[in-house]
Amino acid sequence: MNITKKDIDSLNAVVTVEISKEDYSEKVNTILTNYRKNANIPGFRKGHVPMGMVKKQYGTAVLVEEVNKLLQEALHKFLTEEKLDVLGNPLPKNETEIDWKAEDFTFEFDLGLAPQFDVDVKGRKAVTQYKIVADEKMLNNQVKTIRKQYGKLIAKDAVEKGDEITGTFTSEEKEISQKTTFSTEEIKGKKQLTALLGAKVGDTVSLKTKGLFNDDHDNQKYLGVSHDDAHGLDIEVTLTIEEVNAREMAELNQELFDKLFGPGVVSSEKELKEKIKEDAEKQFEQQSDQKLLNDIVESLIENTKFDLPDAFLERWIQVSGEKPLSEEAAKEEYARSEKGLRYQLIEGKIRAENNLQVTMDELKDYAKDMIKVQMAQFGQANPSEEELDGIAARILSNEDEVKRIGEQLNTNKLLNFFKENAKLKTKEVTYDAFIKEAYA
């Protein structure tokens, strides 16, 4: 057997595999001999079927199977030993030209080669790292929400400002029939609010949906329409009022603080706000980190220039799925996936050059840290190492869990690497400002 590689250019090559009769004949003959021993053919005793008949009936099929096995093994070994960094899989170049009646065979495969490139993680332009802070307005709103949530409901006959209304929205046009509860504070339209104020239990009120709520997404929440219909919904609905309640807000006292955070953790409104701020900003950090990761990825893709074997990859996409694609469909699919492929190559290079692979010990330690946090939430603050090891071992025996935890840890390692090495500029913003600026 002989294998050679011819470079077409820096991104494309052809591998030629030459297989001679000596490479496969012994194996093929052994298989055919076994077939002869076990074949049941009318007119012949078992084991006495003429070899010529066996070869005629099974020879080509056995030959094709064994040669293909040899071919795949040889190709895999060649790519591994030559350390060729290929994209996709080798594509047969001359499979329709193979004459299986011959004794010697020559197979050709097109290869798409990974490009050579450098990654400048630091970059020229700094990426914004948002530090999201909980401002006084947010803290006051959170305190108000808590007081409402733990307050008392007082039934009323008629609607006043600040009341909660339970009723059913209906519309034949959009086939709406949705029972819901909302506060008058969520009503944005002045005309709609005027129509509601003074309405009594049992009344039916007609309301325009345009500008009805503070946010168009509330149309989805309260009217039960789809996400697409929620935006800019402009119809008339009727609301049949079934309940009206005023919510008497809970007092900010020790009983409430203990109910929220446990005995003695918080003992004043000031400490309550500090706790809310601390918890909120921990959650905000996750959103900020995700935004930072997304922005660095976009920056790396934009600023890391290299060519790809486009024609090869389009062909590979065309034939590699469960069902072959048309040439046009393969081009469209490649256009959609090219960006992701580019980042996959960039990320792979960053991980390889900076030793960012996840080890089993790191996976186990990460799982144990997650377990500690979960156990603390249920009042188990100091689990033993033996207990943690046992739980971690059970979790890591599940392949899906290993994959999930591994992906989390991989992302964290990459994010920490970027925080330490990328060029960043910190910007402190409120949560509302972050949403407007980051996702406008």
CATH of span 152-248: 3.10.50.30
Distances (CA, A) of 90 to 75, 83, 254: 9, 14, 70
Q: Report residue 45's pLDDT band, with 50, 70 and 90 as the boundaries.
A: confident
CATH no. of 2-113: 3.30.70.1050
Predicted pLDDT at 241 = 97
Half-sphere exposure of 385 toward its Cβ, with a 13 Å CA cutoff?
1
Which pLDDT value is given to residue 208? 95
Instruction: Name the amino acid, one letter, at 250.
Output: A
pLDDT at 157 over 80: yes
Predicted confidence at residue 376, as pLDDT, reads: 80
Amino acid identity at 225: V
CA 149 to chain CA centroid, Å, is 34
Question: What pLDDT is recorded for position 181?
Answer: 95
pLDDT of 377 strictly over 80: no
Q: What is the pTM of this model?
A: 0.74
Given this model, what pLDDT does residue 330 score? Answer: 95
Phi, then psi, of 30 in degrees rounded to 5: -60, -45
Encoded tokens for 239? 């609301």
- The CB density around residue 238, as the number of other CB atoms within 10 Å, is 15
Q: Is a pLDDT exceeding 80 seen at residue 378? A: no
- For range 295-306, the mean pLDDT: 95
> Are 419 and 127 a contacting pair, CB within 8 Å?
no
Task: Check: CB of residue 346 under 8 Å from CB of residue 300.
Answer: yes
Domain ranges, ordered by start, for the chain = 2-113, 152-248, 268-438
Q: pLDDT (tens digit, 9 = 90+) per residue, 208-237? A: 999 999 988 899 999 999 988 998 899 999
pLDDT tens per residue across span 86-126: 999 999 988 778 899 899 999 999 999 999 999 999 988 99
pLDDT at 97 (0 to 100): 81
Mean pLDDT over each residue of the chain, to the nearest integer: 92
Of 169, 164, 167, 219, residue with least CA distance to 189: 219
DSSP three-state, residue 234: coil
Query: Model confidence over 363-376: pLDDT tens digits?
Result: 999 999 889 888 88
Q: Which comes out higher in pLDDT, residue 293 or 383?
A: 293
Report residue 159 as tokens.
């609607």
Q: What percent of the chain has pLDDT over 70?
A: 100
Taking each helix axis from N to C end, the angle separating 399-421 and 360-377, rounded to the nearest 10 degrees, works out to 100
For residue 37, the model assigns a pLDDT of: 81
pLDDT-based confidence at residue 379 (cuts at 50, 70, 90): confident
First to last CA, the chain: 61
Strand stretches in 235-297, DSSP E: 236-248
